[in-house]
Structure 1
Amino acid sequence: MNESENNSKKSIPPYMKAVSGSLGGIVEASCLQPIDVIKTRLQLDRTGNYKGIVHCGSTVARTEGVRALWKGLTPFATHLTLKYALRMGSNAVFQAAFKDENGQLSNRGRLLSGFGAGVLEALVIVTPFEVVKIRLQQQKGLSPDLLKYKGPIHCARMITREEGLLGLWAGAAPTVMRNGTNQAAMFTAKNAFDVLLWKKHEGDGKVLQPWQSMISGFLAGTAGPVCTGPFDVVKTRLMAQSRHGGELKYKGMVHAIRTIYAEEGLLALWKGLLPRLMRIPPGQAIMWAVADQVIGLYERKYFHIAPL
């Protein structure tokens, strides 16, 4: 059997990649929601109420209760589950399309596949879910009577009624740039670290130990937040501002970047970077530990029944 036949035979179906990603997303969301809440509060803090990650977390827990650190968990968990299913599945489809006649995928093809998957997830899933999540997270207090948004569905309905359907896609442009860049880097880096550290090639039948997947996933998840920090801050600001009454402070992605830089300085464009680094790389570590095991189960069964 030649190499091209071997690669073709050992391709993992996109639906299996989607299933592995969705299961990984559920576990990740449950573990890391408090860090995401802290990140959002820090990014929205224009007056210096929070002195840092620990102070922000302790302040939220003290003034609003520990449960407040899991605000927005339902849309966050649903969002991650659907996002990873679409990300992993669409990336597999794009990779198949970019393979050459010998079944080989170039680094350029891997980057484009990751970028395409990131853009798709940003438009279809990430933007509307994050708009709802951020609106819920920025509310202070736990008493339903004092909160404008009573829950994810109520929040989505209020935004649609007050701001129109497009209100759910506030901040779409920076979200597309952030997610496209992130996934291009993440998929390429994850594959590179698997090969470099563990000599693992996709479809070779070798199943990484969970700790190995976690190391590769953690390392692959570090570059994106540093490169895409401004897009993430702008995305959060655009999503948080209501279009119901009054003048919008930020008119769009470029205007928001200029305004934040002029009013708060260059470093403000990387607000929330540390909690992002505390959440995204560990999140990728958790997700890939689960996803690689699910894919590994399929590979073991597939190779077991495949003729030699």
Structure 2
Amino acid sequence: MVLAEEKRWRWENAAAGAIAGFTTVASLHPLDVIRTRFQVSDGRGSSVPQYNNTAHAIFSIARYEGVRGLYAGFYPAVFGSTVSWGLYFFFYNRAKQRYSRRRDDQLSPAYHLVSAAEAGALVSLCTNPIWLVKTRLQLQVPANHSRPYSGFYDAMRTILKEEGWLALYRGLGPSLFLVTHGAIQFTVYEELKKAVIYVKRREIKSNSLGGEELLSSFDYATLGAASKVAAMLFTYPYQVIRTRLQQRPSTDGVPKYLHSWHVVKETTRFEGFRGFYKGMTSNLLKNIPAASITFVVYENVLKLIQLTRDGN
């Protein structure tokens, strides 16, 4: 009975996470395209045009590539985000349950950190090919390649044919380092959530209400945004390294960057410390509301699923 309840709990979290991921991507994808293009804009023969700022990038892409340019890589982004968030919440809550005797037990920050890192590593291994294709489609500018990818499946087929299956895992190293992003985000989120619940209980001088009942959508949005900012400040350089590694090779088949350390050396040499924070403005514009949307949708969908289940 307990095992069946735990399995149901995991799948409810996975479903809520998948819906949250889809909603987030559908809302904010153009800013993701802009961030990706800024990240590879190193001023040394970049495959994408140079943009002055986020507003200039939006205007330029819309003018020369149309609305489709702002939604380049949208389908793999939706697919990848839906799968990633679904798997993330599934693995994350499974890990938390494993480290806790009962679901209501209070885990320490260290266990939240380990649970989030474990979930992030597993998701990275499962989804790296999807993100690589998404990145290449977002960087694909008309006339830059002799034969542009026509879509997700064509990109997968072409990469396998021209570069081999290992190419689908370019950037996996930085992606695994990026598990610290999710670990930091979820740990900060959980600890802030506990602190807010504690403060609200003191304000109303009651312990009879459950913690979730005390929090509003605004609380979830604020907590999600605050945890996302904390994670971004520490881990953004890994995103730049990963994006530069995942660029499509030139027509002679030679990648611009050979490995992560090559990216670090070249970026430091030609752009300095600031090079590792290219696209940070559009990243903040995208991810602060994205984190809020994700957690608001996740928490409310999870409540709806549980209410529907309990009602039956």
Question: Do these two structures clear the TM 0.5 threshold for a shared fold by scoring above it?
Answer: yes
Give distance in 1, aligned partners of 2:152 and 2:164.
16
Which residue in the other structure is 2:35 paired with?
Answer: 39
Please state whether the residue corresponding to 1:63 is helix, strand or coil: helix
Q: Does 1:171 align with 2:167?
A: no
Alignment of 1:1-308 (within 5 A): 13-47=9-43, 49-99=50-100, 103-125=105-127, 127-141=128-142, 148-178=148-178, 180-199=179-198, 204=211, 206=213, 208-242=215-249, 245-300=252-307
User: CA separation of 1:304/1:195 partners in 2, compared to 1, >3 Å: closer, same or farther?
Assistant: farther
User: 1:103, CA displacement in angstroms?
Assistant: 3.9
User: 1:209, CA displacement in angstroms?
Assistant: 2.7
Which residue in the other structure is 2:46 paired with?
Answer: none
Q: Which moved more, 1:182-191 or 1:99-108?
A: 99-108
Q: Which moved more, 1:30-39 or 1:286-295?
A: 286-295
Q: Which runs of 5+ in 1 are unaligned?
A: 1-8
TM-score of the aligned structures, taking structure 1 as reference length: 0.87
Give distance in 2, aligned partners of 1:273 and 1:113.
27
Give distance in 1, aligned partners of 2:89 and 2:254.
39
Give distance in 1, aligned partners of 2:242 and 2:188.
24
Aligned-residue RMSD, C-alpha? 2.8
Give distance in 1, aligned partners of 2:146 and 2:14.
39
Please state whether the residue corresponding to 2:76 is helix, strand or coil: helix
User: 1:206, CA displacement in angstroms?
Assistant: 1.8
User: 1:12, CA displacement in angstroms?
Assistant: 7.9
**Residues 26-63 of structure 1: CA deviation (Å, up to 9, x unaligned):** 11111000000000111122228211111111111111
Instruction: Tell me how many residue pairs correspond in the alignment.
Output: 294
User: 1:241, CA displacement in angstroms?
Assistant: 3.7
**Residues 153-174 of structure 1: CA deviation (Å, up to 9, x unaligned):** 1011101111101111111000
Please state whether the residue corresponding to 1:250 is helix, strand or coil: coil
Please state whether the residue corresponding to 1:240 is helix, strand or coil: coil
User: CA separation of 1:239/1:10 partners in 2, compared to 1, >3 Å: closer, same or farther?
Assistant: closer
User: 1:207, CA displacement in angstroms?
Assistant: 6.6
Contact kept in structure 1, 2:146 and 2:251, CA below 8 Å: no
User: 1:222, CA displacement in angstroms?
Assistant: 0.8
Give distance in 2, aligned partners of 1:65 and 1:299.
42
Give distance in 2, aligned partners of 1:174 and 1:168.
14
Contact kept in structure 2, 1:220 and 1:281, CA below 8 Å: no
Contact kept in structure 2, 1:167 and 1:243, CA below 8 Å: no
Amino acid at match of 1:97: R
User: CA separation of 1:203/1:11 partners in 2, compared to 1, >3 Å: closer, same or farther?
Assistant: farther
Give distance in 2, aligned partners of 1:167 and 1:52.
31
Please state whether the residue corresponding to 1:176 is helix, strand or coil: helix
Give distance in 1, aligned partners of 2:222 and 2:8.
22
Contact kept in structure 1, 2:109 and 2:191, CA below 8 Å: no
Give distance in 2, aligned partners of 1:133 and 1:298.
31
User: 1:11, CA displacement in angstroms?
Assistant: 10
Contact kept in structure 1, 2:18 and 2:83, CA below 8 Å: yes
User: 1:237, CA displacement in angstroms?
Assistant: 0.4
**Residues 98-135 of structure 1: CA deviation (Å, up to 9, x unaligned):** 2258944211111000011111111111x211110111
Please state whether the residue corresponding to 1:175 is helix, strand or coil: helix
Identical residues among aligned pairs (%): 27
Please state whether the residue corresponding to 2:287 is helix, strand or coil: helix
Please state whether the residue corresponding to 1:186 is helix, strand or coil: helix
Amino acid at match of 1:222: V
Q: Which moved more, 1:63-72 or 1:109-118?
A: 63-72
User: 1:242, CA displacement in angstroms?
Assistant: 2.0
Give distance in 1, aligned partners of 2:280 and 2:39.
9
